[in-house]
Amino acid sequence: MQFILILKIMSNNLLAGKRGIIFGALNEMSIAWKVAERAVEEGAKITLSNTPLAVRMGTTNELGEKLNAPIIAADATNVEDLKNVFEQSMELLGGKIDFVLHSIGMSPNVRKKRTYDDLDYGMLNTTLDVSAISFHKMIQTAKKLDAINEYGSIVALSYIAAQRTMVGYNDMADAKSLLESIARSFGYVYGREKSVRINTISQSPTITTAGSGVKGMDNLYDFAERMSPVGNATADDCANYCIVMFSDLTRKVTMQNLFHDGGFSSMGMSYRAMEQYIKGIDEYRDEDGNIVYG
């Protein structure tokens, strides 16, 4: 009873009556997992989608049962699979879709530890297809099926490496640049014709299965934390932002890359990061405290 009361207080029914599709919930750490939970809490009915392998090996089924959300397996690079997701979702949820989350990313080059100046181009194609072109495929499929309601909201998750070089992010940086560009290009076409909104949210480093694949993730996470005046945004924070973007409160926000990073993207140097940096160079001072160069 008390639990239900707490849930009710937390929910503002921002998505009451809305239907959504959430791609990319693999396990409890996944950003998509948190978004799915919050969307249902806010009154939405949803379907979940992930690769057949992820559905078999991951814990997506648990989430589906908990949220009463049907799971439709799909490889997001396969247009026929995507068509099936939209058709089935409309049938199961009882009408056109109001919001879609693309929370998908994978780089075989990163997985195989290929450096940026030694990329395997077959793998690069896969990185771009899975992490960026799948977004285009998703939107084009939805548009052809006329599957999204007016002022529907489509969101994909990005990272600041799309715009500024970040060590270790490798070819995922190129994929994210393309992802953000697709949001603008398709945002124009879909907005003009059907008032459908398309945005990317550029999220702080977050400890998840995909995030942990990035070389030096722990240090990157720590650096971003020290640089951001209000700290890194967590997966739960990201879920809250996605809910606002799916809601009717943001009907005129489209074609944007929205930074959700505790202020990181506007910082040059923070006191906390500087303090940490100074500690790091202490060992290069001589006994009189003078910095030793070289």
Considering the rule CB under 6 A, would residue 232 count as an interface residue with ligand NAD?
no
For residues 222 and 179, the answer to whether their CB atoms sit within 8 Å is no
Residue 206 binds to ligand NAD (criterion: CB under 6 A): yes
CB of 184 to ligand NAD, least distance (A): 17
| 198 binds ligand NAD, rule: CB under 6 A | no
Q: Is 205 in the site for ligand NAD (CB under 6 A)?
A: yes
**Residue 197 bridge partners (DSSP):** 153
Kindly tell me which of 141 and 206 has the beta carbon lying closer to ligand NAD.
Answer: 206
Parallel/antiparallel/unpaired status of strands 97-102 and 45-49: unpaired
- 195: contact with ligand NAD by CB under 6 A: no
Q: Are strands 97-102 and 197-203 parallel, antiparallel or unpaired?
A: unpaired
Q: Is 209 in the site for ligand NAD (CB under 6 A)?
A: yes
Q: Is 170 in the site for ligand NAD (CB under 6 A)?
A: no
Q: Does the protein bind ligand NAD through residue 199 (CB under 6 A)?
A: no
Residue 187 in the binding site for ligand NAD (CB under 6 A): no
The closest alpha carbon to 85, from 138, 122, 133, belongs to 138
Structural tokens at position 212: 């942990």
Calpha distance 4→221 (Å, rounded): 35
- Contact yes or no for 50/73 (Cβ under 8 A): yes
- Decide if residue 233 touches ligand NAD (CB under 6 A): no
Identified binder of ligand NAD from the candidate list 199, 208, 228, 257, rule CB under 6 A:
208
As a whole number of angstroms, the distance between CA 263 and CA 129 comes to: 30
What x/- string results for residues 10 through 49 when contact with ligand NAD is judged by CB under 6 A?
--------------x-x---xxx-----------------
Least Cα distance to 270 among 228, 217, 222, 214 occurs for 228
> Which residues, listed in sequence order, are joined to residue 49 by a DSSP beta bridge?
23
Residues that bind ligand NAD (CB under 6 A): 24, 26, 30-32, 50-51, 54, 75-77, 103-106, 130, 157-159, 203, 205-206, 208-211
